[in-house]
């Protein structure tokens, strides 16, 4: 590790270098230890978020309509989450890791940068959520300007600090890739349930993958949810509320077959919950909240996974609002190191909200129309089925809408070894209704489609604009080793930010072992995965 890092060098990596130096100069100097700079950046960001929280406390108190009150409640919760994340990061203690005489801060640099990345998209959601709030929206937007800049600075600083800490060479994850599935088991494997039956598995999955699912054991549950009273609880929410505040290990909740009409949240302070069902079409959680119904986008979610280390297996999540509901989220994921295996997410617009942190989806199905995989996490969907549905009148289909607002964010949506196909109702008119791989929700949107099969429903241009030329110069869209009638790139968009077909070296950055740092945590979840390329 180097002896120090110049403040000017660190701030040069940010979008707001002058504000960066101004905020950090009182607490560090040009030769400060990189970790001192890192801690200072975290503390500055914490102070800014806390100040914004205080300034915005009064906004919306006198609002008369439900949408405004709901939007303000969402905003304040997200500010509170951001504050807690920063406090958690500031408490990290020194340890020996990755073969470097370093600290937990430096070893978890990627995780820290990713977690800080949620501050900016949350601000976007806060201001988007307050469309109906009038004066409240303007007040709130002003209070968020400082956080926007500081969060951006912090991520740029972290990138520079990370380089300084690993000046002797970063761990070579790019070449530690595996080309076969890793079949693991969860802690305290089944002396209860032994696995899934063939009837529980999706028909679209290859026979080898179906066998793999049957081989994977399930942890004996700490709690059982059953609507018929044969378990400990009749609702999922009751089971979550009963999870001990302090529990050593992974807490398992088995949800028996049934349709659970409830809105479920695994809260931020509840880590390492493992929830599993009897199959993605047999154990189903369903709701119908929508933007048309008066809810901010994030508040429409049927299920929300906010706690770190959440693992879910063999369950389905549905928002039944339909195309007329517009934004209507089935699943919202915010917790770091979240994993979904053999799950199904069904909706229309905004089905799967990959909000923040690192997420891995394997052997899942996502159904939707407009922006149906969206957000600003580091999300990797591997071996998943992406089913495009028939949209509402005058609508086009967008598989993704990524929301990166800063080039320093290590976030993005990666579709690896997936299949993009039309549902049965769309099939006859799939060539008349425009469908695209994605559009840039924010200026630095980053989406990569690799080793996937793309159906003929995807238009030759491949990608669509969001609004005029917003993001077209600064986005990062790329494709690698795709097949199928929609995979041809000769007629793709010619935007400055579109990378086209990238080479293997560049594509390696978006494999699980590198993009979501999966070598350090994914295997321990017992989820089948491929760390490198699948072909």
Report CA 407 to chain centroid distance, whole Å: 17
CA-wise closest residue to 300 among 335, 340, 352? 352
CA-wise closest residue to 240 among 217, 263, 212? 263
Per-residue pLDDT of 16-27, as tens digits, reads 677 777 777 777
**Domain total in the chain:** 3
- Based on the fold, state whether residues 336 and 383 are members of the same structural domain: no
In a domain, 189, yes or no: no
DSSP 402-450: E---STT---EEEEES-EEEE-TTTGGGTTTS-EEEE--SSTT-EEEEE
Q: Which of 368, 387, 404 is the last residue of a domain?
A: 368
- Based on the fold, state whether residues 18 and 149 are members of the same structural domain: yes
Asked if residue 442 lies in contact with residue 476, where contact means CB atoms within 8 angstroms, the answer is no
Interatomic CA distance for residues 518 and 120, integer angstroms:
24
For residue 58, the model assigns a pLDDT of 63
* Out of 196-205, 418-427, 498-507, least confident range: 196-205
- Based on the fold, state whether residues 119 and 78 are members of the same structural domain: yes
Interatomic CA distance for residues 468 and 495, integer angstroms:
12
- Based on the fold, state whether residues 339 and 467 are members of the same structural domain: no
User: 3-state class of 50 per DSSP?
Assistant: helix
For residue 90, the model assigns a pLDDT of 60
In a domain, 154, yes or no: yes
Strands, E assignment, 168-280:
223-225, 251-255, 258-261, 264-266, 273-276
- Based on the fold, state whether residues 295 and 332 are members of the same structural domain: yes
**Torsion angle of the four alpha carbons 173, 176, 179, 182, in this order, in degrees rounded to the nearest 10:** -90
In a domain, 250, yes or no: no
Per-residue pLDDT of 302-313, as tens digits, reads 999 999 999 999
In a domain, 384, yes or no: yes
Structure tokens at 54: 């205080």
How high is the mean pLDDT of the chain? 78
Q: Which of 166, 185, 220 is the last residue of a domain?
A: 166
Structure tokens at 405: 């607002």
Structure tokens at 164: 């300084």
- Based on the fold, state whether residues 273 and 402 are members of the same structural domain: no
For residue 188, the model assigns a pLDDT of 29
Interatomic CA distance for residues 325 and 255, integer angstroms:
28
- Based on the fold, state whether residues 360 and 389 are members of the same structural domain: no
- Based on the fold, state whether residues 300 and 404 are members of the same structural domain: no
For residue 171, the model assigns a pLDDT of 39
For residue 121, the model assigns a pLDDT of 44
User: 3-state class of 83 per DSSP?
Assistant: helix
Buried b (16+ CB within 10 A) or exposed e, 291-326: beeebbbbbbbbbbbbbbbbbbbbbbbbbbbbbebb
446 vs 62, residue with greater confidence: 446
In a domain, 469, yes or no: yes
Could you give the percent of the chain with pLDDT greater than 70? 61
- Beta-strand relationship, 283-287 and 378-382: unpaired
Per-residue pLDDT of 95-130, as tens digits, reads 322 223 333 443 344 444 444 444 444 444 444 444
Per-residue pLDDT of 148-172, as tens digits, reads 444 555 555 555 555 554 444 443 4
- Beta-strand relationship, 419-422 and 385-388: parallel
In a domain, 43, yes or no: yes
Per-residue pLDDT band for 7 (boundaries 50, 70, 90) equals low
Structure tokens at 285: 């959680």
- The enclosing domain of 272 has a CATH number of 2.160.20.10
Q: What are the CA-CA distances from residue 295 to residues 74, 128, 196 (Å)? A: 10, 12, 37
For residue 415, the model assigns a pLDDT of 98
Per-residue pLDDT of 284-340, as tens digits, reads 999 999 999 988 888 999 999 999 999 999 999 999 999 999 999 999 999 999 999
In a domain, 251, yes or no: no
- Based on the fold, state whether residues 341 and 440 are members of the same structural domain: no
Structural domain boundaries enclosing 38 = 7-166
254 vs 179, residue with greater confidence: 254
- Based on the fold, state whether residues 268 and 387 are members of the same structural domain: no
The question of whether 371 is a catalytic residue gets the answer yes
Q: What are the CA-CA distances from residue 31 to residues 6, 23, 37, 154 (Å)? A: 5, 16, 10, 18
- The enclosing domain of 113 has a CATH number of 1.20.140.40
- Beta-strand relationship, 344-346 and 316-319: parallel
- Based on the fold, state whether residues 344 and 455 are members of the same structural domain: no
Rounded mean pLDDT, 417-426: 97
- Based on the fold, state whether residues 20 and 44 are members of the same structural domain: yes
Task: Exactly one of 278, 371, 406, 517 is catalytic; name it.
Answer: 371
Q: Which of 341, 368, 395 is the last residue of a domain?
A: 368
In a domain, 126, yes or no: yes
pTM (two decimals): 0.76
């Amino acid at each position: 590790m180097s002896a120090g890092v110049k403040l000017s060098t660190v701030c040069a990596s940010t979008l707001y270098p002058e504000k960066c130096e101004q905020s950090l100069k009182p607490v560090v100097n040009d030769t400060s230890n990189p970790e001192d700079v890192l801690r200072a950046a975290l503390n500055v960001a914490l102070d800014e978020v806390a100040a914004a929280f205080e300034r915005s406390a009064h906004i919306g108190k006198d609002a008369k309509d439900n949408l405004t009150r709901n939007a303000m409640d969402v905003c304040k919760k997200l500010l509170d989450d951001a504050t807690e994340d920063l406090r958690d990061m500031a408490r990290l203690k020194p340890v020996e890791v990755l073969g470097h005489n370093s600290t937990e801060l430096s070893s978890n640099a990627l995780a820290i940068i990713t977690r800080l990345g949620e501050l900016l998209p949350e601000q976007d959601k806060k201001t988007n959520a307050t469309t109906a709030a009038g004066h409240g929206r303007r007040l709130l937007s002003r209070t968020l300007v400082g956080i926007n800049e500081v969060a951006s600075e912090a991520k740029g600083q972290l990138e520079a600090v990370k380089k300084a800490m690993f000046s002797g060479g970063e761990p070579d994850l790019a070449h530690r890739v595996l080309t076969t599935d890793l079949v693991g088991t969860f802690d305290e494997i089944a002396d209860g349930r032994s696995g899934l039956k063939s009837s529980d598995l999706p028909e679209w999955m290859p026979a080898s993958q179906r066998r793999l699912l049957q081989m994977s054991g399930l942890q004996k549950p700490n709690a059982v949810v059953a609507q018929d009273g044969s378990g400990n609880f009749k609702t999922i929410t009751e089971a979550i509320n009963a999870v001990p505040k302090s529990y050593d290990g992974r807490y398992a909740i088995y949800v028996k077959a049934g349709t659970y009409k409830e809105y479920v949240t695994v809260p931020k302070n509840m880590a390492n919950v493992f929830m599993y069902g009897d199959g993605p079409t047999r154990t189903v959680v369903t709701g119908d909240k929508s933007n048309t119904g008066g809810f901010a986008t994030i508040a429409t979610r049927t299920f929300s996974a906010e706690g770190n280390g959440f693992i879910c297996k063999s369950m389905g999540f549905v928002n039944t609002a339909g195309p007329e509901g517009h934004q209507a989220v089935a699943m919202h994921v915010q917790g770091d190191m979240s994993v979904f295996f053999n799950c199904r997410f069904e909706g229309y617009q905004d089905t799967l909200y990959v909000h923040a942190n690192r997420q891995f989806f394997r052997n899942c199905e996502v159904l939707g129309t407009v922006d149906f995989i969206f957000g600003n996490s580091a999300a990797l969907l591997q071996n998943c089925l992406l089913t495009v549905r028939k949209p509402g009148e005058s609508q086009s289909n967008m598989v993704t809408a990524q929301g990166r607002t800063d080039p320093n964010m290590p976030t993005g949506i990666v579709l690896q070894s997936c299949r993009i196909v039309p549902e049965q109702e769309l099939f006859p008119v799939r060539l008349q209704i425009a469908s695209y791989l994605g559009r840039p929700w924010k200026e630095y949107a980053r989406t990569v489609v690799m080793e996937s099969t793309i159906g003929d429903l995807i238009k030759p241009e491949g990608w669509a604009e969001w609004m005029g030329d917003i993001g077209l110069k600064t986005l990062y869209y790329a494709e690698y080793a795709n097949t199928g009638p929609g995979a041809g790139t000769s007629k793709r968009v010619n935007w400055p930010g579109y990378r086209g077909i990238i080479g293997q070296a560049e594509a390696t950055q978006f494999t699980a072992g590198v993009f979501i740092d999966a070598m350090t945590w994914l295997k321990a979840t017992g989820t089948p995965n491929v760390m490198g390329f699948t072909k």
